[in-house]
Structure 1
Amino acid sequence: MNIVVLAGGISTEREISIVSGTQVCKALREKGHRAILMDVYFGNVEIQPANAFPENYDTDAAAAYMRGFDGNIEAAKAAQKEFFGPKVLEICREADVVFLALHGENGENGKVQAAFDLLGIVYTGSGYLGSALAMDKALSKKLFREGGVPTPGGVTLHQGETVKSTAGYNVGLPCVVKPSCGGSSVGVFIAETEEAFQAAVAEAFSYESEIVVESYIKGREFSVGVVDGEAYPVIEIAPIEGFYDYKNKYQAGSTIETCPAEISAEQTARMQEYAVLAYNVLKLENYARVDFMMDDNGDMYCLEANTLPGMTPTSLLPQEAAALGMTFADLCEKLIQVSLKK
């Protein structure tokens, strides 16, 4: 198939997206597909529709071309450049499917998906509605509670309103403060004092005008991939220091990841059931990754769902697939096939 792997963009997760896209493009090439890598925001004026999907292709060179725009992001945003870069929509229309390797706000919030739906472009992952619901942590937590998915208690704060103490929000200390629509734990803080809470709120508001404050769950962290409505093996995430923040997610050797997780069969089944329930409550499609905490009593709490999880060979979802005997390339192929079914 002719495939565009769409990555990059202007979110805080741009670099991780380029890494994911590079690995996916290489894997799809290994499977015999004519895959190319494109930056959703900056495009590539050198690509011509007539030969957009060549038999021989240098993926690393394409990634280097994308990184060449890294210093131009703020200037491009200030100039109010339109979101889709040169040739992006034109080439995506020529593809059999677009593999979305985007991460962060303008890749996972449903806007790209909605545009593609209007244009008849086939893409991987959830549709615009599920993407928007999952991206908004305040809204997804409300839907979790209404749908019977256990989630930490918390409140949503909006910029400009008077900030109370943690006791006023009934969350206690320590607590978690995070942007409502962020990703990769960017702007997430664990506040252990009132002073730290007030500072965390101010810092989180520097990222977005809506933030979530929730009770801190002390315990073990897990993630469960859901592909085509089926839960994958549970993976445990144990940072060597601190919590699973941006550094611990992407710096090699910072986190110990165990898959399948060393928990009981009953706990595994229950967490997988909650993952599928969360997937359905948020109206997700094709694939996603659902994150959990489990306290010392064995009580589980769903933190959020990620509709376009990281896709490097060492990312969480690929590790879960490996536990099922699937190679990284096999997983990339499967994500395309389940997405084409819709």
Structure 2
Amino acid sequence: MKSKEPPGSFFKDKTILIINAGSIKKRFIYQKIKKLELKIIVLNKKEEGFIKPYVDHWIIADTGNHNECVQAVKEFINTHPEIVISGVITFWEDDVLLTSKILDRFNFIGIPLSVAKKARNKFLFREFCEQNNIPAPKHAYVRSEEDIKKVIENFNFPLVIKPVFGSSSAYVMKIENEEELKNSYEYIKKSISTNVESALHDGFDLLVEEYIDGDEVDIDILIQNGRIKFCGISDNTKTKEPFFIETDRLTPSQLPEKDQDELLEMADFILEKIGVQNGCIHLEAKSTKKGPVPIEVNLRMGGDEIYSSVKAAWKVDLIENALKIALGIHVDKFKNLEEPRKYLIARTLLSDYSGVLMKLNIDEQLEKLDYVEDLAFFKKIGDSIFVPPDGYEYFGWLMVSGDNHLDAEENMNSAMKYINYEIARFHSASSIGKTSRKNGFSFSVLNKYPLVRQNVKIEKIRQMNIKDQRNLHIGIACNNFMEGAGEIEKTLNNVGLIIEKTLKKIGYNVTFFDFNKIPDVLNDLQKSNIDMIFNVCERINGSSLLEPHATAVFDILQIPYTGSNSFTLALCIDKIRVKKLLTYHHVPTPKWDYAYDMDDEISSDLIYPLIVKPSNTDDSIGVTNNSVVLNKKQLQLQMEKVIKGLNSPALVEEYIEGDEYDVSILGSEEDDLRVLPLSRSIYDNLPKGYWHIFPYEAKYGTGDLYKKNIIVQRPPKNISKKLEALISEIAMDTYNILGCHDYGRVDVKLDKNNNPYVLELNSNPSINIGNCVPAVAELTGMTYSDFLEEIISLAIKRYKNRSPYYHLQTKII
């Protein structure tokens, strides 16, 4: 007789320690446990928001480091004597061994580590089966080309290759011949990763075994004190091979009663021999012509729809009873299971190819259908989906019931009509191989991996509608400086914070990435779920010379970003190379020469006054009023300050006396390039002895002399349309020649005859509120937020219209 006591009363005042929070797919477990009035402690690498409301205490430790976790549990027990941990459990394959180690150390109920090792390691499990006369296919480790040769010589095809510590069919493949064996081995060795399947943190060893032909089943078991209290069999319909992608699961099994009895007898024998006394077990097996053959034993509750299917069919709650077993609460044997309450089909919702979810429509009437038992859909519009060989993902599952299996199948067909989704396949230019067969899961697609998986952020941008851009998660690449930083640093600090605040205010999800913390930022970028970087990084390791490498990192990680690429950014820092290119393309620029050391002669053709600048600094660093020289002696003095004092090559130009124009440009493509209203700086009011330049002191100095006497006109007054057009055109030529993207600013100076000369291109100009580029954009009717959104839109368009690496193909190459 089963107890009539309400479920919650069994667990009152008890505390369960759960090892590993799992993914969001496991949230329902915590919701269930909380309803049972249990206190919950979770041991995990970090606190997880999706289960935070249900967790009473956290123990933070690296679950990949078992000793650290054991010590963390010990410290928690010592520092919280008022909390008595009643038992330990895991619902996550990754930490079956850790759970066993903890229960051994603290004398909890469960599966000892010595037992868990034999089941968790698929090779050791095969060895155990052979030693106990349990049917097992011929099998071997494969760790080298030599091992592959031995398999070819001694095994019969077809074969199966799989990770020894794998889960969820990840990297499990059927092999038909020698060539496929070699190819699949290379593919797995190259692509195997805990990022794809976290359970692999126990090891990357591979196992090859002869293929077992038969009907695949799941056997879900509750065992307490060596006695099986519940055992239910479900059928897995034929998987999509060669990657063994699960499709439908039928509960209860349709196999003949004799075959089911043999499977149950085998399961009982395995658990007895291997030494499993207490636990919730998910055993996978095949029913063959020669009898039942085990595939693997999972020492935790089965995942996905298994809990709800078992509960719906037999009214057996696997979570509740697994907890009872872990806590030492008696579980009565479940009887009268010959006829299920319902017949169920659970279907895995799959995509035929890797891509981006573009459309999703789940009719709200679906869940009102009385035969729909469970629906889980974990992806949202804009999310990527990776199917083999790129990954092992699925959208979720749908489970329906019926009076019999035929009725359930008809109900499934009806229910599926309420679910419609559309996948935009990853573009062929995005590194996906051009070879394909009708079967999207065939071996000819192995050459895709891992490029398509890495390309997902770019592909999401390529497939999105620009009108949905506020749904993007934007990362701000910038520099965050401590209090007491210099004037330049304060300016660099402010721009990122202002952009972050502005984008958040209009609805964007925004994350700040501080490039002053390089190890952290590289790690954070790899782990982040950002869709695009808004790049305003101007320093790395305190140097502007390393600024271009930020975008190189984004390209390596395949994260789309705003602004120019690393080549253009690096080129524009090198003023000497820029001058060479402008001269080559006949763009007017002041006559010039350069010196890398003091022995280099400056051309005597240059006419004084001259201006001496560092060739590779920004923000006018190294430029003062004394930078303009009238004779060779002054020239040598300024060159020495630049070459020896600043360790920079010196650029020497003929000084141009007139007004200076800042030409702000938006766009990248011919159809979106546009020049914003010009900004004009007039130096005529500067006192005698002050040259008509914009030195460092004018930008960051404390005095007001330059601010008071330099007149800035936005837009310029009394300028002819012809001159305005000429300035705009040579600025546009400069922008295009140097391969600038999305936005930039060209500095142009006029001589006394109004002849324009290009001084430089700033491919990453400051775009804080009030800076030149956003200020002139405002003259066109743009607010600051409009301006930022326009830059994001331009970047989206640039990625959408071209192949992923087109932006690296600089026009001057």
Query: TM-score if structure 1 supplies the norm length?
Result: 0.80
Instruction: Tell me the distance in 2 between the aligned counterparts of 1:287 and 1:175.
Output: 31
In the TM superposition, 1:23-62 aligns within 5 A as: 23-42=498-517
Change (3 A) 1:246 1:26: farther
3-state secondary structure, aligned to 1:233: coil
CA contact (8 A) 1:40 1:85 kept: no
Match of 2:599 in 1: 162
Q: Deviations over 1:147-185 (max 9, x none)?
A: 2211011112103x4154x6x442232211111111111
Instruction: Tell me the distance in 1 between the aligned counterparts of 2:794 and 2:560.
Output: 12
Count of aligned pairs between the two proteins: 298
Instruction: Tell me the distance in 2 between the aligned counterparts of 1:335 and 1:180.
Output: 29
Q: Deviations over 1:224-264 (max 9, x none)?
A: 01110211111012356442122323467454321111211
Query: TM-score if structure 2 supplies the norm length?
Result: 0.35
3-state secondary structure, aligned to 2:561: coil
Match of 2:657 in 1: 218
Q: Deviations over 1:181-218 (max 9, x none)?
A: 11111112222343322221111122233221111011
Displacement of 1:303 in angstroms is 0.3
Change (3 A) 1:143 1:209: same
Match of 1:294 in 2: 750
Match of 2:776 in 1: 320
Displacement of 1:108 in angstroms is 7.2
Match of 2:716 in 1: 261
Match of 2:698 in 1: 248
CA contact (8 A) 1:39 1:85 kept: no
Structure 1 residue 22 corresponds to structure 2 residue 497? yes
Instruction: Tell me the distance in 2 between the aligned counterparts of 1:128 and 1:169.
Output: 35
Change (3 A) 1:12 1:125: farther
Match of 1:62 in 2: none
Match of 1:172 in 2: 607
Q: Deviations over 1:254-288 (max 9, x none)?
A: 54321111211111111111111001111111111
CA contact (8 A) 2:749 2:759 kept: yes
Structure 2 unaligned runs (5+)?
1-471, 668-672, 799-813
Change (3 A) 1:85 1:191: farther
Instruction: Tell me the distance in 2 between the aligned counterparts of 1:108 and 1:269.
Output: 35
Match of 1:76 in 2: none
CA contact (8 A) 1:23 1:311 kept: no
Instruction: Report the residue type matching 1:174 in the other structure.
Output: P
Corresponding residue to 1:183 among 589, 596, 618: 618
Structure 1 residue 103 corresponds to structure 2 residue 559? no
Change (3 A) 1:330 1:87: same
3-state secondary structure, aligned to 1:236: strand
Displacement of 1:107 in angstroms is 7.0
Instruction: Tell me the distance in 2 between the aligned counterparts of 1:340 and 1:327.
Output: 20
**Comparing 149-158 and 1-10, the one that deviates more:** 1-10
Displacement of 1:142 in angstroms is 1.0
Match of 1:90 in 2: 524
Instruction: Tell me the distance in 2 between the aligned counterparts of 1:174 and 1:127.
Output: 36
Structure 1 residue 136 corresponds to structure 2 residue 589? no
Change (3 A) 1:13 1:100: farther
CA contact (8 A) 2:545 2:573 kept: no
Instruction: Tell me the distance in 2 between the aligned counterparts of 1:12 and 1:183.
Output: 14
3-state secondary structure, aligned to 1:312: coil
Instruction: Tell me the distance in 2 between the aligned counterparts of 1:113 and 1:91.
Output: 12
Instruction: Tell me the distance in 2 between the aligned counterparts of 1:282 and 1:302.
Output: 13
3-state secondary structure, aligned to 1:22: helix
CA contact (8 A) 1:155 1:212 kept: yes
Corresponding residue to 1:279 among 715, 735, 740: 735
Instruction: Report the residue type matching 1:33 in the other structure.
Output: Y
Change (3 A) 1:329 1:30: same
Displacement of 1:116 in angstroms is 1.3
Corresponding residue to 2:588 among 150, 155, 165: 150
**RMSD, matched Cα:** 2.4
Instruction: Tell me the distance in 2 between the aligned counterparts of 1:108 and 1:280.
Output: 23
CA contact (8 A) 1:41 1:85 kept: no
Structure 1 unaligned runs (5+)?
43-83
CA contact (8 A) 1:106 1:112 kept: no
Tell which has more relative contact order, 1 or 2 (C-alpha 8 A, sep 6+): 1
Instruction: Tell me the distance in 2 between the aligned counterparts of 1:318 and 1:238.
Output: 20
